[in-house]
Amino acid sequence: MTLASLKNATKAFFNGLTTPCAKIGIPSAMKVKPMTQDIQHEIEHFMNGLKKRNPQEEEFHQAVGEVVHSVMPFYLDHADYRKAQLLERLTEPDRIVIFRVSWEDDQGNIRANRAWRVQFNHALGPYKGGLRFHPSVSQSVLKFLGFEQIFKNSLTGLPMGGAKGGSNFNPKGKSDREVMRFCHSLMTELHRHIGEDIDVPAGDIGVGSREISYLFGQYTRLENRWTGVLTGKGCAFGGSAVRTEATGYGCIYFCEHMLHQHDESLEGKRIAISGSGNVALYAAEKALDKGAKVLTLSDSDGFVHIKDGLTKEQWKSVRELKEERRGRISEFAEQHAGVEFHRDAKPWGVKCDVALPCATQNELQEEDAQSLVEQGVMAVCEGANMPCTHDAVERFREKGVLFAPGKAANAGGVAVSGLEQSQNALRISWSHEKVDSQLQEIMEGIHERCVEQGQRNGRVDYVDGANIAGFKKVADALLAYGVV
Ligand code: NDP
Ligand code: 2IT
């Protein structure tokens, strides 16, 4: 393939992507420029500058490093991208709003937390991305999440920019009233910066339907109008069917495509899952539907090993424990024979075919990857955002383990958020079946884009595929806009 035909093929592919509602055209496999010393040098040079401009933001460096590593060969091939300084521009958020959230606890003490909204890039649509409440939240964490969100949202094919927000508030152990007062206070500031065509937040760690309801109630009160300014709302007041399940279900749909691509299926596979929150629970449910055996779940106290595999009845009980009673995963082991709890341990030592890290960033490290490889793991799909460290990912890649990065594998959540925005704009509600079938179609499309852009010597590198496919669309939009 010549360089010119390569460029034409790329153009055709992305013309397909930018045509609303068009079935995405998939060009023939592209030949990839090998990584040379010059390219390595450019990556180092770029990353040194980024680190200097953003000191002590390690998570942000990590997320950018991964994208830059994938796209640099492609970027250097496009003089127009370089001239427009697209990488420099794309790694600088449009803006970050930082504010204090004052609130009163149940004992009458006045408390203050810090909150952020990182509006990273809105080339493809209104800013979109979740809010996280966790004591570990920092500007670096939210910048990494906002940056990832740009490419994830691009991959869905829906018109959404990238953003993330949250607070170092710890909802654990707080009463409903305390959480309500915190959410109302946070929205009292945040409402000035968001809107259905400006920025549409949603949930993430520590932010589920309870928090979204409090936030939405306060927005509606302050603005005196009902509008789809948040997603993940209750279905009775503008929420979408399948939004609760979307990230976990989407992860399994993606995993299934990845396995089918390599003549495998989920039927009978042993699955290790970390986390027991929104993503983990619904990934486990869909995995059971597909005939897989779910062997583990976890929380920050440790993991449970379900030796015979989670049953549907046990799944209902763990959902009720975690979603309704906000209990600990150790209680699940106490209540069920044949379930062992391992305190302060991670599930990656359990022999499995597929691993789904669904808790938090950097939870799966090199030694965990090594242990999974030794146990014969075949595929790893990131349900969480950046749960695998750089070294862990490299270990999977070098050992030929199928590896799906979060921006592809967990895009189902934001995709159904996008569908919730559409339903709100149209003032209608679609059925469970309709939304689920659109989710399946979107996950299939993302998989196709990864396969197309990630062909490497007869195998698919899903990291490169997702990064290049996500990047190209945003880069072309920025080029078209001129110097903005
Ligand atoms: P939840 O708050 O519902 O659940 C988080 C789970 O991860 C809990 O089991 C929690 O345990 C565990 N966890 C969180 N932080 C840590 C930590 N520092 N160490 C160990 N365990 C931890 O969040 P979600 O399920 O919504 O999110 C999980 C991941 O998926 C995050 O990376 C999020 O960004 C990502 N994601 C979420 C989407 C969504 O739609 N919700 C969409 C796409 C990605 P504990 O209760 O003990 O804290
Ligand atoms: O990381 C994510 O994609 C999310 N937390 C979901 C964001 C959204 O807007 O639904």
The pLDDT tens digits of the residues spanning 74-112 come to: 999 999 999 999 999 999 999 999 999 999 999 999 999
Per-residue burial over 238-277, b = 16 or more CB atoms within 10 Å of its CB, e = otherwise: bbbbbbbbbbbbbbbbbbbbbbebeebebeebbbbbbbbb
Residue 404 near residue 254 (C-beta atoms within 8 A): yes
Quote the pLDDT of residue 19: 31
Distance 407 CA to ligand 2 centre (A): 10
CATH classification at residue 284: 3.40.50.720
Confirm whether 379 is domain-assigned.
yes
Residue whose CA lies nearest to ligand 2 atom number 3: 414
What is residue 33's predicted lDDT score, i.e. its pLDDT? 61
- Residue 458, pLDDT score: 86
User: Which of the listed residues 254, 300, 303, 319 should we mutate to test ligand 1's pocket, taking the one with most ligand atoms within 8 A of CB?
Assistant: 300
Residue 69 CA, ligand 1 centroid: distance in Å: 27
Supply the pLDDT for residue 337.
95
Nearest Cα neighbor of 451 from 461, 441, 442 is 461
Q: Indicate whether 426 pLDDT > 60.
A: yes
Report pLDDT for 21. Answer: 28
Q: Are residues 38 and 149 in the same domain?
A: no
Q: Is the CB of 359 under 6 A from ligand 1?
A: yes
- pLDDT, one tens digit per residue, over 227-276 is 999 999 999 999 999 999 999 999 999 999 999 999 999 999 999 999 99
Write down the pTM of the prediction. 0.94
Region class of 56: left (phi > 0), else alpha (psi between -120 and 50), else beta:
left
The predicted structure's pLDDT at residue 359:
98
Regarding the beta carbon of 300 and ligand 1, being less than 6 Å apart is answered yes
Residue closest by Cα to atom 9 of ligand 2: 129
**Judgement on whether residues 25 and 161 belong to the same structural domain of the protein:** no
Same domain, 214 and 354: no
Confidence of residue 35 (pLDDT cuts 50, 70, 90): confident
Would the CB of 209 count as within 6 Å of ligand 1?
A: no
For residue 204, give the ligand 2 atom closest to its CA: 5
Distance of CA 342 from the midpoint of ligand 1 (Å): 19
Is the pLDDT reported for residue 173 higher than 90? yes
Kindly state whether residue 26 falls inside one of the protein's structural domains: yes
- At residue 17 the predicted structure's pLDDT band, cuts being 50, 70 and 90, is very low
Residue 437: the pLDDT is: 98
Rounded distance from Cα 79 to ligand 2 centre (Å): 33
Domain's final residue, options 372, 388, 409? 409
Number of compact structural domains in the chain: 3
pLDDT over threshold 80, residue 220: yes
> Which of 128, 152, 164, 293 is labelled catalytic?
164
pLDDT at 435 over 50: yes
Residue 457 binned pLDDT confidence (cut-offs 50, 70, 90): confident
201 is in which domain, residue-wise?
95-226
Last residue of a domain, one of 90, 110, 140: 90
* Residue 27 pLDDT: 34
Residue 164 designated active-site: yes
Same domain for 162 and 283? no
Q: Does ligand 1 have an atom closer than 6 angstroms to the CB of 206? A: yes
Looking at 37, 63, 90, the residue that finishes a domain is 90
Burial of 227 (0-12, 13-18, 19+ CB in 10 A): middle
User: What is the CA(8)–ligand 1 centre distance, in A?
Assistant: 41
Examine the pLDDT at 330 and tell me if it is beyond 70: yes
Question: Quick one: 276 and 220 in the same domain?
Answer: no
Distance, CA of 223 to CA of 221 (rounded, Å): 6
CATH code for the domain of 208: 3.40.50.10860
Indicate if the pLDDT at residue 22 is higher than 90: no
Does 203 sit in the ligand 1 pocket, CB within 6 Å?
yes
- Ligand 2: atom nearest CA of 160 is 9
* C-alpha 67 – ligand 2 centre gap (Å): 19
Question: Does the C-beta of 279 come closer than 6 Å to ligand 1?
Answer: yes
Residues 103 and 209 grouped into a single domain: yes
Q: Do 258 and 398 lie in a common domain?
A: yes
How distant is the alpha carbon of residue 115 from its chain centre? 20
Mean pLDDT value across residues 133-143: 98
**Is 287 domain-assigned?**
yes
Q: Which of 133, 204, 285, 363 should be mutated for ligand 1, with most atoms under 8 A from CB?
A: 204
Q: Does residue 299's CB lie within 6 angstroms of at least one atom of ligand 1?
A: yes
